[in-house]
Amino acid sequence: MTRSVTPAFFHEEQLEFKPRYEWAFGEKITHPETTARAESILAALQREADRFDVRAPSSLPLSALRSLHSIQLLTLYSTAEELPEDRDFHPTVFPKLKRGKGDPTNLHHAGAYCFDSGTPLNHYTLRAACWSAACARDAARHVRGGQSRLAYALSRPPGHHAEKDMFGGYCYFNNAAVAARELKRAGRVAIVDVDFHHGNGTQAIFYRDPKVLTVSIHGDPRDYFPFYAGYNTETGSADGEGYNFNLILGTGADGQAYDQTLETHVLPALRVFDPEYLVVAAGLDAYERDPIGHFALTTEDFFRVGERLGSLKLPTVAVQEGGYYTPHLGRNAVALLRGLRAGLGLES
């Protein structure tokens, strides 16, 4: 029997974006969102060529993102393309009353569209972020068109912190939201975000939308980024009330605790919502050795997380989010994807 092959979307221009440093809690540190992350995942996918087929997405015109992100945010990224190639621009002034209301042709106003000091802009930001979103769009189209039950977007830079008119948390365009929007044309969509950090951008984009269920499992936002969102009192609003779940696990939570949360809270909520499609915001910084995440999942645990979610038997798009222990990132991505394949019955 021929084994089903999972398409994995990636474009080499995503590697041209190389943020150099960030300001983390007042310290200048080497930026963790490196090209080595994508290279680690690519190498691991290519080692399993009988399961994964890496292919380039078709290009995504900027205008296609206008229904998801504000014109000001898109203009700001275009402005950053004028920077010299060797320079990163870090917003340093964040106006309280001008959120989303600066002059996006002036980089000194970038703080009006940004919520942290860890997410620089440079000449390559827009191009890489567009390809990253294109991966998510094409993976979703592939699944929506019925060409496969599972598709993977190697989206880098990541996306789940990006809101309609704000960037931050190393994210510029919300790739999981791009995938969900694409799938929503054909039915209800559930997004399960397994990144260590709360997916504040995804939550904000769909907060009033009853056709997209957003579930995020993450570290306590009182202690961990993004700090201002991710609490379990945030349940959606207007027609979207009751369609957003935030599940907080304690520092050091292991695979067993994670599994219990999936079994007790996530899977029942998904069964009640009864979606046509699933998007997995596939952050891997819940890993035990991750320098930014503070859970204790192992590579085997990622397989089980994938298997649990795959057992829902929904056409699924996995979109890469965080994960910063580069030496093991590839094998953890493959473990999660192989778990999804196993749950979906694609491994035999």
**Active-site amino acid positions:** 161
Q: Which one, 102 or 159, has the nearer CB to Zn ion?
A: 159
Query: Taking the complex as a whole, how short is the minimal distance between the CB of residue 197 and Zn ion, in angstroms?
Result: 4
Residue 197 in the binding site for Zn ion (CB under 5 A): yes
For 7, the enclosing helix (H) or strand (E) is strand 6-9
Q: Which one, 209 or 321, has the nearer CB to Zn ion?
A: 321
Binding piece for Zn ion, criterion CB under 5 A, among 84-92, 106-114, 265-273, 316-324: 316-324
Distances (CA, A) of 247 to 36, 309, 312, 321, 345: 30, 16, 19, 18, 28
Q: Which one, 131 or 170, has the nearer CB to Zn ion?
A: 170
Question: If you search the block for the tokens 């900027």, which residue do you land on?
Answer: 62
Residue 322 in the binding site for Zn ion (CB under 5 A): yes
Residue 51 in the binding site for Zn ion (CB under 5 A): no
Query: Taking the complex as a whole, how short is the minimal distance between the CB of residue 156 and Zn ion, in angstroms?
Result: 13
Residue 285 in the binding site for Zn ion (CB under 5 A): yes
Q: Which one, 33 or 138, has the nearer CB to Zn ion?
A: 33
Residue 116 in the binding site for Zn ion (CB under 5 A): no
E strand map for 294-335: 316-320
Residues 6+ apart with CB under 8 A from 221: 198, 227, 228, 229, 230, 231, 248
Query: Taking the complex as a whole, how short is the minimal distance between the CB of residue 200 and Zn ion, in angstroms?
Result: 11
- Mask for 155-194, x = binds Zn ion (CB under 5 A): ----------------------------------------
Binding piece for Zn ion, criterion CB under 5 A, among 70-78, 216-224, 275-283, 335-343: 275-283
Q: Which one, 112 or 248, has the nearer CB to Zn ion?
A: 248
Query: Taking the complex as a whole, how short is the minimal distance between the CB of residue 324 and Zn ion, in angstroms?
Result: 8
Contacting residue, 159, 221, 283, 339, with Zn ion by CB under 5 A: 283
Polymer length of the chain: 348
Query: Taking the complex as a whole, how short is the minimal distance between the CB of residue 265 and Zn ion, in angstroms?
Result: 20
Distances (CA, A) of 286 to 56, 244, 299: 28, 21, 10
For 292, the enclosing helix (H) or strand (E) is none
Query: Taking the complex as a whole, how short is the minimal distance between the CB of residue 104 and Zn ion, in angstroms?
Result: 26
Binding piece for Zn ion, criterion CB under 5 A, among 68-76, 149-157, 257-265, 280-288: 280-288
Nearest of 202, 201, 207 to residue 191 by alpha carbon: 202
Residue 195 in the binding site for Zn ion (CB under 5 A): yes
Residue 199 in the binding site for Zn ion (CB under 5 A): no
Task: Give the Cα separation of 178 and 55 in Å (integer).
Answer: 18
Q: Is-contact 180 279, C-beta < 8 A? A: yes
Task: Give the Cα separation of 252 and 243 in Å (integer).
Answer: 28
Token pair in block for residue 142:
């592939």
Residue 33 in the binding site for Zn ion (CB under 5 A): no
Sign of CA dihedral 180, 183, 186, 189: negative
Q: Which one, 196 or 325, has the nearer CB to Zn ion?
A: 196
Pairing state of beta strands 27-30 and 21-24? antiparallel
Q: Which one, 258 or 273, has the nearer CB to Zn ion?
A: 258
Angle between helices 326-344 and 299-310 (to 10 degrees): 30
Nearest of 268, 133, 81, 293 to residue 192 by alpha carbon: 268
Token pair in block for residue 157:
């830079």
Binding piece for Zn ion, criterion CB under 5 A, among 22-30, 101-109, 196-204, 208-216: 196-204
| Interface positions with Zn ion (CB under 5 A) | 195-197, 283, 285, 322
